[in-house]
Amino acid sequence: MCHDSWRKYKPELLETFSEHAGKVGLESGDLWQGNQSVLISCGLMLQFGYPLREIYERMLASSGEFRRHNNELLWKQATILVATCERLTGYRASGDPYPVDEVCKPGFSESVHGDNPQLIEEEVCGYHYIPDYILGRYQEANEWLKKSAAIIALRPTDIINTHHFTYEALVWAQLFEELPSKEQRACWSGLRERLKRIHVFAKRCPESYWHKYLLIKAEMARLKRKSRQAEQLYSQSIEWARTYGLIHDVAIAAECCGKYGISQGKLHLAKIYLTEAYESYLQWGANVKAADMEQQYVHLLNIKRESGIERIDYSSVAQSAQAMSGEMEMGNLLDTMMRTMLQNAGADFGALLFEEDGLSKCLERQRSLTSDPSRLSLSLLSSII
């Protein structure tokens, strides 16, 4: 199954595949096919930002079939996937049969029958470097990425792991400024090479990769001190990821932008984007990360626990005023202001009415993942007002 093709031309196919994953194989008595389809569908759901709890529940519901099949390769792959979900959510159901504690043991990935391409060892690396990056443990993530790269290097050169390359670039960007100048040059060369590779895939299937390409470009612009370009690229990456329902990537890009705001002393920017990252991590189900953000950015997060009209308060007006003072371009100013107002109101849609050249106009903004792509547009309302 070429997921780039269906992401571009028929994105609803993953829902259909996930719904029927395992059923066909079980009905035919082919447990290998059934269990493998469950693994593929849940792996893709993780890759495309489906709620972590939903993925975990699907794997839990299929645990009996995995145990009945008694295939070591599939059982260990399932265990790694479940362990990744548990590490990010902090949740483990009673009666969960997957031995997640064994994933970190030295012998877990050794001597698995049928694992010629070392899939288990590579997936163990992913179990470490994905949560390590998300949780800000960049040195640890880098060490596991090195191990993963060594495994990938043993495979044919036409097999490209875009997931691995993306995390390499993001981790390197976080570590870059701590490196000696000689290592920085090598790291920069690596960043450019990863950006080039991701760009190839982004042009082929922008629905899956364009936001990643924009985020890597934003991180590189940040390192080159190109402030305005970095902010624009962060914003574009966030909007693109939101458009295609990639809530985990919205969270990652928004956090990068928020941290950038802190480094530049732009606390209004940091508050807006760190709050967006926090809310997106919660929506994804990464409660461990959300709790970490509450501790790390307690003075910057605009956490509202009320609902409805109670959430609309004067803090949104104050933050919008701060945002306006930090923006020079009208489009960015209005976009930032509307983003702030929507966050404080807890709303998915908002509109700002104003008059220009004697005509009534409306600026609209949507932030719902289930609606049409987020947009910032002006439309005439003369027929309404």
Q: Where along the chain do its domains lie?
A: 1-115
Contact between 378 and 362 (Cβ < 8 Å)? yes
Beta strands at 359-366 and 376-380: parallel, antiparallel or unpaired? antiparallel
Q: 123-127, 211-215, 228-232, 331-335: lowest mean pLDDT where?
A: 331-335
Which pLDDT band, with edges at 50, 70 and 90, does 106 fall under?
A: confident
- Helices 72-89 and 31-47: crossing angle, nearest 10°? 30
Sheet holding 359-366, edge to edge: 349-356, 359-366, 376-380
Alpha-carbon gap, residue 279 to 311, rounded angstroms: 15
Q: Give the per-residue pLDDT at 275.
A: 95
Q: Return the pLDDT at 161.
A: 81
Mean confidence (pLDDT) of the chain: 82
- pLDDT at residue number 356: 63
Q: How many Cα atoms occupy the beta-carbon half-sphere of 362 within 13 Å?
A: 13
Q: CB under 8 Å to 130, separation ≥6 — which residues?
A: 84, 167
| Per-residue pLDDT band at 227 (split at 50, 70, 90) | very high
pLDDT in tens, 13-48: 666 666 666 565 556 566 777 888 889 889 989 999
The mean-pLDDT minimum among 72-81, 155-164, 272-281 falls in 155-164
Please name which of 220, 226, 336, 227 lies closest in space to residue 276, comparing C-alpha atoms.
336
Burial 92-112 (b: 16+ CB within 10 A, else e): eeeeeebebeebeeeebbeeb
| Residue 313 in this model has a pLDDT that exceeds 80 | no
Q: Residues 94-104: pLDDT tens digits?
A: 999 999 999 99
Residue 334 has what pLDDT?
66
pLDDT digits (tens, 9 = 90+) for 141-180: 999 999 999 999 887 765 678 899 999 999 999 999 999 9
- How confident is the model over 193-199, as a mean pLDDT? 95
Query: Phi/psi at 366 (nearest 5 deg)?
Result: -120, 145
